[in-house]
Amino acid sequence: MPMIKITLNGQAREIAGGSSVAELLALSGADRQQVAVVVNEQIVRPEERKARILEENDQVDVLVFAGGG
């Protein structure tokens, strides 16, 4: 299956076309903690991540809580 280009946390990246957000998280090792996912400025809830298929040029941000004041 052909690869597609997306942006993950600001970095260009290729993944297999048809991959879901959930698959991207697994590939990225981001499936073992609570993360927030934003695709093209839209929040993607945990329950939507399996169904949400990524498309060419999607802007994906995966966010966690770090130390802050």
Partner 1 sequence: MDPLQLGTYSFSSRLLLGTGKFGSARAMLDAVRSSGTQLVTVALRRFNREQAEDDLFGPLSEIGGITLMPNTSGAATAKEAVRAAHISRELSGSPFIKVEIHPNPHHLMPDPIETYEACRILASEGFLVMPYIPADPVLAKRLEDVGCTSVMPLGSAIGSGQGLSTAAMVSIIIRESGIPVIVDAGLRSPSEACAAMEMGCEAVLVNSAVAVARDPAAMAAAFARAVEAGRQARTAGIMPKSGTAVATSPLTSFLGSAT
Residue nearer to partner 1 on the CB measure, 2 or 68: 68
- Taking the complex as a whole, the smallest distance from the CB of residue 1 to partner 1 amounts, in Å, to 24
| Binding residues for partner 1 (CB under 8 A) | 9-10, 28-30, 33-36, 38, 40-41, 43, 45, 59, 61-69
State which amino acid sits at residue 64: V
Residue nearer to partner 1 on the CB measure, 2 or 69: 69
- Taking the complex as a whole, the smallest distance from the CB of residue 2 to partner 1 amounts, in Å, to 26
